[in-house]
Structure 1
Amino acid sequence: MPDRHDPLPVPTPPLSAAPPQEPGTRRIAVISASVGAGHDGAAAGLTDRLTARGFLVDRYDFLDLLPAHAGKLLCGGYHRLLTWAPEGYQRLYKATDQPSRPGAVWRALFRSAEQPMLRALGPDTCAVISTYPGASQVLGTLRRRGLLQVPALTYLTDFSVHAMWVAPGIDAHLAVHAIPAAQAHAQGAAGVTVAGPVTDPRFAPTTGSQRPAARARFGLPEHAPLALLVAGSWGVGPVRRAAAEIRETGVAVPVVVCGRNHTLAEQLRQDGVEHVFGWVDDMPGLMHACDVLVQNAGGLTSLEALAAGLPVASYRCIPGHGRTNAQALEEAGLAAWIRTPEDLGPVLTELLRGERSQAQRAAGIALHRSAPGPLPAIAARCGSAPPPPLSSRTVRRPGRRRLALTATTVATTVSLGVAAPLAYAYSEAPARFTAVAHYLDGDRR
């Protein structure tokens, strides 16, 4: 039987020409990627705010712009690597976090999306916003070549900034906090602005009557301290171990959200974890019912919890962005990074009842209330003139185009479509996997 929290399938927006707009209105394209839920969540938040300000918004999925089902390979390979060989993902993340970004394989993949992206954008589009680093790389290249005549902006969804997020040619990089803004600036990003988070307005501090009502609605204990354990829409990472360790502290009762990972949900129930959910549509309500959030990736759910006034802890973080986000959130004073099981109980106690609880709640709410939001920066760019092209537009020969698409397909198959063999290779020989990762990013040292 399907989990009662499973969402109805959402159709992907078609990549068709934009319909005519009313006189005086402005059209903005938002390009995300259905890799997890964080990039799409940020795109949805931007879309809601832009629409409320009178903009017409077209949303696109970057994975749909890649040829020959390469988008599905990209998403599936990333998912399998996180699940089967997480330390392999750590090595790949580090290898691609280089100033010479992106490598030859990635450039070939992104090049194949250039013309589909240009065709998707309506002729009356006044700006394009990316919430995914791959889309930003393509948009930056199109701007530098003079093929995209309107401003391109990147909204940085992570609290830490991987090198792939910073694309030459992008007009502005919008960050949720001063720390990712500083990281982007240090990597040469243009137009860096602290815009603040874009979360659903339903994520707000709970009132006195909301908590007991929310606990009753979700079938949760009326008085026990509750730790909401989340692991993204994919439910990846050592979630079972984290849930068991939270329970063993005796400080709080774990409430686990598994996203779309039905296997994980069943395993947790077999482990004796009493409060386990699949995909939850009413996450604001579930957060109102709980006392602290424990997360492992530092993505959108962390920002939503901060908006809801929940203290946040990072624990047993997934490799790559999970660890760098945890470090950045800790540096900002927004989340405690619990590095060892021995620290879990004491830190949870502080977050539930100590001075640290009030400090983090106040910091999280202030994060959402102090920043101006992304709309002023976006609106200011809509009327800006395009930069001059670096060179005249070149005409592609049919043979060269076929060669490029062939190279892209091969590159995608090698770098992403064989995630399982790469995972096995890493488990057998980590040093050899590191060499493969450097090769995929074009590092020949």
Structure 2
Amino acid sequence: MGESPGRVPTAHPDRIAIVSASIGAGHDGAAAELQRRLTAQGIVVDRYDLLDLVPARLGRTARDAYRLMLDRAPWLYQRIYSSTERAGGGGREVRALLRSAENRVLKALHPQTGAVVSTYPGASRVLGNLRLDGRLGIPVLTYLTDFSVHPLWVADGVDVHLAAHAVPAAQARAAGAKDVRVRGPVADPRFQPRDLRQRSLARVRFGLPPLAPLALLVAGSWGVGPVRQAARELRDCGAVVPVVVCGRNTALAAQLRADGIEHVHGWVDDMPALMHAADVLVQNAGGLTTIEAFSAGLPVASYGCIPGHGLTNAEALDQAGVAVWIRHQDQLKDVLDNLIDGPLGLSQRDAGLALFADSPDHGPAAEAVRVLRSGRPLAASPPATRRRTRLRQLAVTTTVACAVWTSAVAAGVATSDEGSTLMHAVSQSLDPDLDSGHAGHGADGHHR
């Protein structure tokens, strides 16, 4: 099924691999829609989860630690995000973690794969390194799932970066990407604008009030962020009735019901129908659900955003004119009224739908096929020699760091004096600003 680590797979004109990561649902959701579109064009598609290709379950350990950080120590995530943003890459432990996956990724690729598409920054780092080392002789494309582009998204060795809009395209170029193409976002085709009849039917189906203005509050598949506070403030502002989707966070759903929030959902399989029932979407991370709302013609507001990419996505979406960023509670009523019944909602609805105005022939999947079949010269460097002893040492460091993250945050010590000291020490070890001997690019997972 795979090649030896030192060989370059032979290109095949009708086979593309997509490498994502099961961190939240956004990266996998984008990968699934790209797969659907590519398959419709007659392309054979192989899907891989990068977390499955990192040795010793380190990828899943890092994912669990990241989730716990968002939930228990968001300040730590903000620190790591900001420090890597300044430095243009991650620390040595992150780089070691990704280096450890390179051989497994190369072995997993079918020998007739003609191109690889990444929907996750860590995967882009791995694939870019393989291209630079001359061990992967086929084009690599990165599909940017976010509207803001952290430098970790831009990996040396990646041939093409695909952006949904001019704003992320400009950020990618500023981060060093050389070939950036604006090809629009991807969303499941079930997300379409609704009419009044569909709105009424959806409200009956989900047991929602037939006439009240409804704000659909989402927080990703993990249900992270200050969701309880946002739900209460939406309810109390008097402009909307909140309908909250908690993803797989059952504890959050129970807490919201205890808070007196009447309409609370866990994981929702038919989000297109629930969006039909709503008048506005309120989001806190800028992930795939935001893109789906644009496709559904639903006005979007960012509020109560999570640290890191939640804040930078809110800013980029606001700059692009597709989603207003509500920064303060006292703005809620006026902005929501304007989104539901005013000109702001009409303009943002049009701007969101305009992202999908081009035909699929001009979308990111079609662009991947064009790159696959272009026969473009591939500039690959000779294979580089690895110092495996150093790699093993760094991988052990990564394991320890992830274990400390997980145990410290899970135990709830992040709010104690001892916990703050411990978490500060971990964040120091991952801060590239304090590691002058390891400047440069690395990778981190974040997501929706």
Aligned to 2:8: none
Compared CA separation, residues 427 and 389, structure 1 to 2 (3 A): farther
Give the secondary-structure state (helix, strand or coil) at the position aligned to 1:418: helix
Match of 1:63? 51
Could you tell me whether the CA contact under 8 Å between 2:92 and 2:394 is conserved in 1? no
**Equivalent position amino acid for 1:413 in 2:** V
- Whole-Å separation in 1 of the counterparts to 2:280 and 2:227: 16
Pick the aligned partner of 2:179 from 184, 191, 207. Answer: 191
In the alignment, residue 64 of structure 2 is paired with which amino acid?
G
TM alignment of 1:232-247, pairs within 5 A: 232-247=220-235
Say if 2:38 is the partner of 1:50. Answer: yes
Question: Structure 1 121/313 Cα, relative in aligned 2: closer, same or farther at 3 Å?
Answer: same
Aligned to 1:6: none
Q: In the aligned structure 1, how far is the partner of 2:52 from the partner of 2:301?
A: 35
Provide the secondary structure at the position in 1 that maps to 2:215: strand
* 1:9 corresponds to: none
How do residues 215-364 of structure 1 correspond to structure 2 at under 5 angstroms? Answer: 215-364=203-352
State the 1:409 CA deviation: 3.1
Q: CA deviation at 1:173?
A: 0.4
Taking the aligned partners of 2:313 and 2:132, their CA distance within structure 1 comes to 30
Superposition map of 1:45-444 within 5 A = 45-370=33-358, 372-383=362-373, 384-385=375-376, 387-394=378-385, 401=388, 404-415=391-402, 417-421=404-408, 424=413, 428=417, 436-444=426-434
Contact 2:160 2:181 in 1 (8 A): yes
- In structure 2, what is the Cα distance between the partners aligned to 1:100 and 1:239? 30
Gaps in structure 2 of 5+ consecutive residues: 4-10, 437-448
> 1:229–1:257: 8 Å Cα contact kept in structure 2?
yes
Once the 2 structures are TM-superposed, how far is the Cα of residue 389 of structure 1 from its aligned partner? 3.4
CA distance 1:368–1:425, change in 2 (3 Å): same
Q: 1:76 to 1:215 in 2, by over 3 A?
A: same
Q: d(CA) in 2 for partners of 1:363 and 1:100?
A: 31
Q: Aligned partners of 1:143, 1:134: CA distance in 2, in Å?
A: 14
Q: Is the 8 A contact 2:118 2:143 kept in 1?
A: yes
Contact 2:97 2:395 in 1 (8 A): yes
1:23-34 to 2 correspondences below 5 Å? 26-34=14-22
The CA deviation string for residues 24-52 of structure 1, in whole angstroms up to 9 with x for no partner, is: 86110000000000000100110011000
Q: Secondary structure of 1:213's match?
A: helix
Which residue of structure 1 aligns with residue 443 of structure 2? none
- Cα distance, 1:138–1:286 mapped onto 2, change above 3 Å: same
Tell me the amino acid that sits aligned with residue 233 of structure 1.
S
- Cα distance, 1:330–1:24 mapped onto 2, change above 3 Å: closer
Q: Is the 8 A contact 1:78 1:416 kept in 2?
A: no
Q: Distance in 2 between matches of 1:163 and 1:196?
A: 20
Contact 1:150–1:385 (Cα < 8 Å) also in 2: no
Q: Pick closer, same or farther for the CA change 1:260–1:310 going to 2, 3 Å.
A: same
Partner SS for 1:209: helix
Verify the 8 A CA contact 1:146 1:387 in the aligned structure 2.
Answer: no
Secondary structure in structure 1 of the residue aligned to 2:148: coil
Q: Distance in 2 between matches of 1:435 and 1:271?
A: 36
Answer yes or no: is the 8 Å Cα contact 1:226–1:254 preserved in 2. Answer: yes
Superposed CA offset, 1:234-256 (max 9, x none): 00011111111111112111000
Summarize the Cα distance change of 1:227–1:169 in structure 2 as closer, same or farther, 3 Å threshold: same
Structure with larger RCO (C-alpha < 8 A, sep 6+):
2
Q: Give me the TM-score of the superposition, normalised by structure 1.
A: 0.90
Name the aligned partner's letter for residue 319 of structure 1: P
Aligned amino acid, residue 439 of structure 1 = S
Q: How many residues align?
A: 422
Structure-1 separation of matches of 2:237 and 2:312 = 26
Letter in 2 for 1:219: G
CA spacing shift, 1:203–1:138, aligned 2, 3 Å: same
Amino acid across the alignment from 1:81:
M
- Listed one character per residue, the Cα deviations across residues 78-103 of structure 1 (whole Å, up to 9, x for unaligned) are 00000001111111111111344232
Cα distance in 1 for partners of 2:147, 2:420 equals 28
TM-score, length basis structure 2: 0.89
Q: Secondary structure at the match of 1:173?
A: strand
Gap change, CA 1:392 and 1:356, over 3 Å in 2: closer
Give the secondary structure class of the aligned counterpart of 2:124.
Answer: helix
Secondary structure at 1:29's aligned position in 2?
A: strand
Return 5+ residue gaps in structure 1 as ranges: 1-15
Please, which moves more after superposition, 419-428 or 39-48? 419-428
- Residue 207 of structure 1: CA displacement? 1.7
CA deviations over 1:358-398 (Å, ceiling 9, x no partner): 1111111111114721133212211334534333454x6xx
Quote the Cα distance in structure 1 between the aligned partners of 2:111 and 2:249.
41
Paired residue type of 1:223: L
